[in-house]
């Protein structure tokens, strides 16, 4: 009996030491997401066609879970500071692949939607044809529970614009459109700002202001503080870059256009739109330039005003010479 009791105690001790014969359940390790390649990341996005408008309708529409993006994969592509400024550290954040607009020569424009408890947003990620990320741009951002008329747009030529609307005292709607373009090095730059806000003292943004002005007629020509014809050196000696902004009829009609004009005669240059009907003639005399619209430029101005009138040359400040 004593031997049997000793054997029983030995078996019990062995079972306790081995966990009662049952395998101890291990706590699963937190999975680590493998780095995603740029090519695989781009393929997640469904193809969409331009023109494409990214606004409230896209933000409010439910996106399939199959298009949900890993936050880690997005963090791998952009800097920590940029990720933080766009998305913060909100644990409720979800990112989705809205669409991809592809161009054989330019690359891929990826549209990303963010949804969290605090905010919804839309973003543009641009990859060149070598799959290098060259630029990002917030297109629309809406605090939860609020409505906005802000939206971002890529037109048929892949020009990018962001439009926002705000309400001033008296219910006046102020609409501002910022136009962006990619430079030769692929970086994204603000090219033009259009707004119906003609508040006193508000300075017109001149997108070609810092370009060289060595050619004969290069300079700024003013009619009123906010009516300007700006000319800068062109790609060659026979061309001028120009920017025109004007308002008329107490601000009810306005126009903005930017392009390249060619010398067309003695003291004359002319802009002819390559794809479209717009044409403008510039005639110079006694430090003045007279504009005459010679083609339909309705896409760049109001219905009841035209690119015409005489502007007086303004002396440009001398640039400091480098020592």
How far is 36 from 28, CA to CA, in rounded Å? 23
CB 127 within 8 Å of CB 42: yes
Q: Which residue has the higher pLDDT, 6 or 4?
A: 4
Write down all domains in the chain, each with its CATH number in brackets. 206-323 (2.40.128)
Tokens of 236: 């060659």
| Predicted local distance difference test score (pLDDT) of residue 151 | 86
pLDDT tens-place string over residues 106-163 = 889 999 999 988 888 899 999 988 888 888 888 887 765 554 567 889 888 888 888 8
Q: What percent of the chain has pLDDT over 70?
A: 76
Q: Which long-range contacts (CB under 8 A, 24 or more apart) does 273-277 make?
A: none
Average pLDDT, stretch 90-115? 91
Task: Give me the pLDDT at residue 43, please.
Answer: 92
Residue 183 above 80 pLDDT?
A: no
pTM, to two decimals: 0.53
Q: Tokens for 127, please give them.
A: 């990859």
pLDDT of residue 31: 38
Question: Is residue 310 predicted with pLDDT exceeding 90?
Answer: yes
Residue with tokens 């001149």: 206
- Name beta bridge partners: 265: 268
Tell me the pLDDT tens digit for each residue of 213-242.
Answer: 999 999 999 987 779 999 999 989 999 999
């Amino acid at each position: 009996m004593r031997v049997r009791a000793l054997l029983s105690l030995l078996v019990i001790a062995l079972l306790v030491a081995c966990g009662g014969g049952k395998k101890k359940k291990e706590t699963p390790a937190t999975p680590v997401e493998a780095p995603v390649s740029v090519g695989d990341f781009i393929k997640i996005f469904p193809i969409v066609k331009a023109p494409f408008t990214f606004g409230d309708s896209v933000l409010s529409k439910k996106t399939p879970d199959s298009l949900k993006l890993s936050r880690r994969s997005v963090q791998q592509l952009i800097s920590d500071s940029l990720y933080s400024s766009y998305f913060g550290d909100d644990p409720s954040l979800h990112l989705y692949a809205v669409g991809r607009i592809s161009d054989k020569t330019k690359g891929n424009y990826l549209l990303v939607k963010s949804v969290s408890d605090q905010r919804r947003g839309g973003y543009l990620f641009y990859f060149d044809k070598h799959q290098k990320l060259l630029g990002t741009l917030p297109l629309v951002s809406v605090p939860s529970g609020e409505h906005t008329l802000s939206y971002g747009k890529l037109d048929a030529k892949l020009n990018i614009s962001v439009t926002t609307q705000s309400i001033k005292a008296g219910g006046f709607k102020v609409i501002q459109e910022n136009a962006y373009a990619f430079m030769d090095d692929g970086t994204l730059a603000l090219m033009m700002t259009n707004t119906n806000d003609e508040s006193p003292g508000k300075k017109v943004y001149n997108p070609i202001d810092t370009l060289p002005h060595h050619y004969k007629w290069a300079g700024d020509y003013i009619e009123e503080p906010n009516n300007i014809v700006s000319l800068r050196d062109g790609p060659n000696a026979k061309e001028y870059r120009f920017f025109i902004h004007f308002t008329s009829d107490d601000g009810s009609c306005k126009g903005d256009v930017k392009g390249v004009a060619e010398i067309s005669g003695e003291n004359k240059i002319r802009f002819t739109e390559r794809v479209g009907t717009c044409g403008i003639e510039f005639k110079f005399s006694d430090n003045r330039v007279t504009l005459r619209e010679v083609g339909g430029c309705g896409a760049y101005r109001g219905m009841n005003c035209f690119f015409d009138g005489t502007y007086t040359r303004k002396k440009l400040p001398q640039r400091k010479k480098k020592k």
